[in-house]
């Protein structure tokens, strides 16, 4: 439900006014100077296509990797801090240090 509300807010509150404004400018330019209106409309379409393509190809995969590394780092820190007694009881401080160093390197 929250995901739907978030996407609805993005579409209605953030994107709809901008798209309406660009559409209105394109139509107004086309009615006044048809060549400029077509040029502006094509330019806007190219810009939106490149922006969406780059977001899907580069930003989204990087965001997924970042979220995964952040989750791993949080889990490793949680294990290291909350299981301190168990780690000391079994003498596995070195193993825990190696785990934190490995995960923090990936996170960085």
Neighbours of 54 (CB within 10 A): 11
What domain count does the chain have? 1
Residue pLDDT, tens place only, 61-70: 989 988 888 8
Nearest to 76 by CA among 95, 98, 103: 103
Indicate if the pLDDT at residue 87 is higher than 70: no
Residues 9-16: what's their mean pLDDT?
88
* Domain housing 24: 2-107
Residue pLDDT, tens place only, 33-56: 999 999 999 999 999 999 999 999
């Amino acid at each position: 439900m929250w995901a739907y509300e978030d996407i609805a807010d993005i579409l209605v509150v953030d994107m709809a006014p901008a798209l309406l404004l660009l559409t209105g400018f394109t139509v107004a330019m086309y009615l006044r100077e048809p060549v400029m209106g077509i040029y502006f409309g094509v330019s806007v379409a190219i810009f939106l296509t490149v922006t969406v393509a780059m977001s899907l190809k580069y930003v989204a995969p990087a965001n997924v990797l970042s979220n995964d590394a952040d989750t791993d780092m949080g889990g490793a820190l949680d294990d290291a801090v909350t299981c301190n007694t168990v780690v000391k009881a079994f003498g596995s401080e070195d193993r825990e240090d190696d785990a934190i160093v490995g995960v923090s390197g990936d996170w960085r």
